[in-house]
Structure formats: C-alpha cells, structure tokens
Amino acid sequence: MNFPSKLIENAVNEISRLPGIGKKTALRLVLHLLKQNVPVTEELSNALLSLRKEIKYCKKCHNVSDTDICNICSGIRRDKSIICVVEDIPDVLAIENTAQYTGLYHVLGGVISPIQGIGPDELKIESLIKRIEDSRTEDKIEEVILALPATMEGDTTSFFITRKLKELNIKVSTIARGIPIGGELEYTDEVTLGRSILTRVNYSID
Amino acid sequence: MNFPSKLIENAVNEISRLPGIGKKTALRLVLHLLKQNVPVTEELSNALLSLRKEIKYCKKCHNVSDTDICNICSGIRRDKSIICVVEDIPDVLAIENTAQYTGLYHVLGGVISPIQGIGPDELKIESLIKRIEDSRTEDKIEEVILALPATMEGDTTSFFITRKLKELNIKVSTIARGIPIGGELEYTDEVTLGRSILTRVNYSID
C-alpha cells in the first residue's frame, strides 16, 4: 500500500503491530483519528503511555495494580485462606467477572513450556511457595486452586506445582473440566465428553 | 467489566472509542502492550500524536500530505488535465492502488447530506471550481471525473457539481456502474443489474 504521507504510514505501521490488526484496519483507525479533534488523539496517546510507564504489579499476587499491594490482596472482604493460581492477568478478570470466587489469586505469568524456553524459574512459582510458607504466621492459606489451561503445558505446570506443594501439606484442587453450561453433547469433543463421564459427580435433587 | 487498575481502565476506555473495537479487544491490546518493552508503546503513542498534530492537507486537492502541496499534485508524471473528484481520503488510496489512473484528485471531505446537516458549503466544492478557473492560465484542466458513492447523497453531490461546472464548459464524466468483475448475475441486486443493461457498452473483438 502506498501512503500519501509518511506520518500516516508511520502510524499505520505502529498500529498494525498490535495483534489482530492489519494494515487496512490500522488505516481506518488512523483516518478516524484524523477526523476527530486533537484532544481525542492526545488522550489516547497519553493513556497508552502512562499505562505502560506507571503500571505496577502487586508484590503479593503479581496481578496488575495501581498500588504496591492490589485491591484484591488488600480487600477486607476477601477470603485469605484460598489462593487461585492462574496463568495470566485476563484469567483473574474472567474469574472476577463470575462473582463466584472471593479468595485471592496468584498470577504465574505463563505456563511451563520447554518449546518456548519457559521453565519453572521464569514463572512466579517460588513466590507462591514463599507466600504459602509465610502465611503460616498471619492469615493461614489452606487451599490452592489450580485454574490453569487444559493444555499439555497447563497440565505440566499443575503437576509441577502440586509436587512442590506436597511438602507444605496443603489442600490442592483444580477447576472442574466438563461440558460447558448450554453445550450440546453431540458437538463436544471426545476428550472432554469422555473425561466428563469419568469424573461424574453425585446428582441429588434435595 | 471491573478492572484491577485505573490505568488499564483508562487505556481500555480510550482504545474502545475507536470504531470497531470493543472493550474486550481493547483489553487484549492493552495486555499485549504490557508484555512488550516500553519503547513499543512509546513509538505507538508518539506516532499517533505526531500524526494528529503535524498532518497537513494539500492546498490544491485537500488530500493528506506531509507538504503544502501533495506528491500527487506536484508529481511530474501526473496528467494535470484530469481531476478525479472523490468523497474522502481512502478513496484516493483505493484509486491509486489500481494503478490505472494518472490524473489529479480533488477530495471533497464528504457528500451533500441534508439529514446530517452537510451542505455544499461544508465541502470543498468552491475550491474545485476555483481550481478549474485558475487552471485556464497554466496546466489546463479538461475533464472532471466524478467518483462519488452510488448513494442518494453521492448522486445529489454529483448533480450539484455537474450543474456548477456547466458554466465552465468542461467535460464531466462519472465512473462506470455495473456488475463487478467476477460477480455473478444471479446474486447482483436488481438496480445494478437493471442499470448495467440500460448503460450497456459496445462489445467488439477486434
């Protein structure tokens, strides 16, 4: 594509480096910004810059935060005896949106993946162990929920963490896998369907 | 959606003001930027800001440009006797990409739309007339091609411009409407198909 202006070309190139945005979409966004008043672009530009430069990570759970300790870790209504271990920040948001969980989180920052060169030391696993050990004094952590992806990498990470936690004598659980609510048996993959039968739960209508 | 950080919330809100980008996509982009080094965000932020603040519009054709007179208007290989009138900047890019046109352009900045309160005075129509009048001395403009959208607003604008140009005794043409190349008759709308029969052209195999 030939651009009539270096400024446009530059902006299109920068925007199209974002995931899922091609040159055509980038150009559409650029032309949209050109039609708006200058402050619209200024606010967007500043929001991105201050996000990237001022963002902090919670020192306890490694979630993004505006403060040293995040709202969840310092929340007075949170159940401090449970930690839910997740791969990354969007997972925290997803679980928070369910409004079904009141415990704390621990963001690993990835999963073990030998192919991508990510070993246990690249993840916040040591920090999880330390957090549980330290908790013995004040708020005691009694359960760790592993909410990692149902992939080989996720399973490997779950296995690794479980083995590490064995010495600490703590309850370890994992989120349920099965047919999604509203999902039809007919269209569910065989692995999920097979496992959902093996891991069936008691059904009562009391 | 609840965000763990005001900075993230702010960035997501700003990004999701762009057309076609919702909160979920905006969050994905924000988390992507957080995983990159700081310069990636800085370059994006600066590119947007300098685009919006430093962009110029060509004084002749009103296309975007880095200089007072754009590359097309000042190009020595361009045919300065033809002007193609388009609604907006993307149309120039689209026609340039065909590599079938070597004349000049004139960007109206919209089409006449009483519903949206856009009259002829909001558009660069006077500037087109003046451009043609001025051309009588140096490079004479001999033809105006109307390449406006095939909508009621586009047709109104074409009609308005044609009437204005009548006094100047200049050739006025419009781009061909018809079945797109590769398009099937069966799936073409009746108006296009009907018009393509009425405006049929001579077919010769010489």
Q: Please enumerate in sequence order all residues whose Cβ is within 8 A of that of B118, keeping only pairs 6 or more positions apart, or say none.
A: B110, B111, B112
Strand-pair category, B56-57 with B64-65: antiparallel
Q: Chain B contacts of A2, Cβ < 8 Å?
A: 93, 96-97
Joined together, the tokens standing for residue A50 give: 């201050």
Partners of residue A27 in chain B, C-beta under 8 Å: 90, 93
* Chain A hits for B39, Cβ within 8 Å: none
Q: At which residue do the structure tokens 């009138």 appear?
A: B85
Instruction: Determine the pLDDT at residue A196.
Output: 83
Q: Is B16's pLDDT higher than 80?
A: yes
**What is the distance in angstroms between the Cα of B19 and the nearest Cα belonging to chain A?**
7
B1:A97 CB<8 A: yes
* Interface residue of A46, A48, A97 to substitute, partner B, most B CBs within 10 Å: A48
Q: What is the mean pLDDT of residues A153-174?
A: 91
For chain B, positions 40-99, list CB contacts with chain A under 8 A. Answer: 40-56, 63-66, 70-72, 88-90, 92-93, 96-97
Contact B51 A15 (CB under 8 A): no
Size of interface A-B (CB pairs under 8 A): 171
Q: In A145-180, which positions are buried (b, 16+ CB within 10 angstroms) versus exposed (e)?
A: bbbbeeeebbbbbbebbeebbeeeeeebebeeeeee
The shortest CB-CB distance from A70 to any of B4, B27, B46 is to B4
By Cβ distance, the residue of B8, B38, B97 closest to A53 is B38
Residue A157 has pLDDT above 90, yes or no: yes
Mutate which: A25, A49, A52, vs B, most B CBs within 10 A? A52
Cβ contact B14–A66 (<8 Å):
no
**Mean pLDDT over the full length of chain B:** 89
Residues of A in contact with B20 (CB under 8 A): 25, 28
Q: What is the mean pLDDT of residues B46-65?
A: 91
CA distance B171 to chain A (A): 27
Q: Does the pLDDT value for residue B44 go beyond 80? A: yes
Q: Pick A64's closest partner by Cβ from B4, B17, B88.
A: B4
CA–CA distance, A139 with A83 (Å, rounded to integer): 12
Please report, to the nearest 10 degrees, the dihedral formed by the alpha carbons of residues B72, A6, A34, B94 taken in order.
50
Q: Which of B1, B3, B5 to mutate to test the interface with A (most CBs of A within 10 A)?
A: B5
Element at B173 (helix H, strand E): strand B171-174
Q: A16-67: per-residue pLDDT in tens?
A: 999 999 998 999 999 899 888 999 999 999 999 999 998 889 999 999 988 8
Pick one of 1.10.3370.10, 3.30.43.10, 3.30.365.10, 1.10.8.420 as the CATH number of B6-54.
1.10.8.420
Q: Which residues of B touch A46 (CB under 8 A)?
A: 45
Q: Point out which residues pair with B118 in neighbouring strands.
A: B113
In this prediction, residue A97 has a pLDDT band, given cuts at 50, 70 and 90, of: confident
Q: For chain A, which residues make up each domain, given as ranges? A: 6-54, 57-174
pLDDT grade for A138, boundaries at 50, 70 and 90: low
- Looking at every residue in chain A, the average pLDDT score rounds to 89
> For B79-98, how does the pLDDT look when each residue is reduced to its tens digit (9 = 90+)?
999 999 999 988 998 898 88
pLDDT over 90 at B184, yes or no: no
Q: Is B101 on the interface with A (CB under 8 A)?
A: no
Q: B56: which chain A residues are within 8 Å (Cβ-Cβ)?
A: 5
CA atoms within a 13 Å half-sphere pointing along the CA-CB vector of B183: 13
| Chain B nearest-CA residue for A10 | B47
CATH code of A57-174, in short, is: 3.40.1360.10
Q: Which of A194-203, B12-21, B103-112 has the lowest mean pLDDT?
A: A194-203
> What sign for the dihedral angle of Cα B177, B179, B185, B189?
negative
How far apart, in whole angstroms, are the C-alpha atoms of residue A9 and residue A12? 5
Show residues of chain B in contact with A64, CB under 8 Å.
4-5, 7-8, 34
pLDDT band at A184 (very low <50, low <70, confident <90, very high): confident
**Of A65-74, A122-131, A166-175, A196-205, which gets the smallest average pLDDT?**
A196-205
Cα dihedral B29, B32, B38, B44 sign: negative
Distance CA A89, CA A110 (A): 10
Asked whether the predicted pLDDT for residue A5 surpasses 70, the reply is yes
Quick one: pLDDT band at residue A191, thresholds 50, 70, 90? confident
ipTM of the complex: 0.78
Q: Give the pairing type, strands A143-147 and A171-174.
A: parallel
pLDDT in tens, B115-160: 989 999 999 999 999 999 888 776 789 999 999 998 999 999 999 9
Q: Which residue of A has its CA nearest to B14?
A: A44
The alpha carbon of residue A84 and the mean position of all alpha carbons in its chain are separated, in whole angstroms, by 11
